[in-house]
Structures are given as structure tokens and as C-alpha cells.
Amino acid sequence: MGAYYDEIEIEDMAWDEVKGVYHYPCPCGDRFEISRKQLANCEDIATCPSCSLIIRVVYDPLDFEDEPPDDEGSASEESEENEEEDDDSDSDADKFEDALEKLTLSEPPVAAVAAAA
């Protein structure tokens, strides 16, 4: 391990929707950060802005190969994968939309089942 403070699996890192970075606690109270773009570029060193300490992130670069080349709009594209960590207040609106979508889609199969019976 040597120069690294630690080697950390990506599963132990939290996702910051606003800054667009994965982060992990640094013992100084600040945090080690790395962006999806860095991960897509096979960079694996997350740094702490307040410290000399660094960590190596253990992850599969294939999981990030679809990352768009520029950061533009990356936050919205990522939200799907990190759903469980989200606390967005729009969840009700999302559900409503989901329901609408399902309603139109599910109608024909229901009718088909009824006809078959």
C-alpha cells in the first residue's frame, strides 16, 4: 500500500450529486474525491483538498466506459445508477410519471388476457 492512506472499493464511497464526485472520509474531516470522468480515464487516485493523504480507488473501469467525454450534463445521466443514495424531493413527481407510463403500456396486455379468458 505504501504511499496510499488506504485502498478503497468504490462501493464504500458516497456519491455527491451536486459536485458530481464520489467521496470517502479523510481523517482530517475533509474528504477524498474523484469524478466519474477521472474513473472513466482509468485514474484511480482520490485526493483530499486539505491533506497530503491520498487513497487508491478499487473499481472496474468498464463500469464507467460509457461516461460522456465532457462533464456537461453528467449529473443527470448518473442519477439512475445512484438512485438509492438520492434524497431528491421530486420523488413524488417521478412516481406520478412512472404511473402514467405504466398505465398506457399495461392496458393492451390486460385486454389480451381478458380476451384469452
Partner 1 sequence: MEAQTPYLRLLAAGSNARGQLANGSDDDSHTFKECRFRGCIEGMLPLNTLRILQLATGANHTLVLLELGDGRTELWGCGDGRKGQLGPEYMEQLTEFTPISTPLYKTYASQGYTCCLIAAAWETSYLVLKLPSRPDVVISMGSNDFGALGVGTKHATATPAVVSFDHLTIEGRSIKPSGLVVESIVAGPRHVVLHVRTVLNNEHTLIGWGLARHGQLGDTKVVNYDRPYIISLGVSPDPVQTCSLGLQHTVVCHQSGRTTAFGSNKKGQLHRMDSWERVRQVGCTWNGTYLLRDDDENTLLSTGSNAHGQLGRESQVEENEVTVGPVEFTSHDGKLPSLKFFACGSEHVMTVISPYGSSDMEIWGWGWNEHGNLGLDHTDDVPKPIKIWPAGGGHALDGRIARVWAGNGTSWILSQI
Q: Does 53 interact with partner 1 (rule: CB under 8 A)? A: yes
Q: How many residues make contact with partner 1 (CB under 8 A)?
A: 22
Q: Does 75 interact with partner 1 (rule: CB under 8 A)? A: no
Distance (Å, whole) CA 86 – CA 79? 8
SS3 sequence of 14-52 = EEECCCCEEEEECCCCCEEEEEHHHHHCCCCEEECCCCC
Q: Which of 41, 43, 45, 50 binds partner 1 (CB under 8 A)?
A: 50
User: Residue 59: how many CB atoms within 10 A of its CB?
Assistant: 18
- Least distance to partner 1 from the beta carbon of 20, Å? 16
Element spanning 7, H or E: strand 6-9
Q: Does 87 interact with partner 1 (rule: CB under 8 A)? A: yes
Strands 31-35 and 6-9, sheet pairing = unpaired
- Least distance to partner 1 from the beta carbon of 109, Å? 30
Residues 1-40 that bind partner 1 (CB under 8 A): 1, 5-6, 11-12, 14, 25, 27-31
Q: Give the residue with the Cβ less far from partner 1, 73 or 95.
A: 95
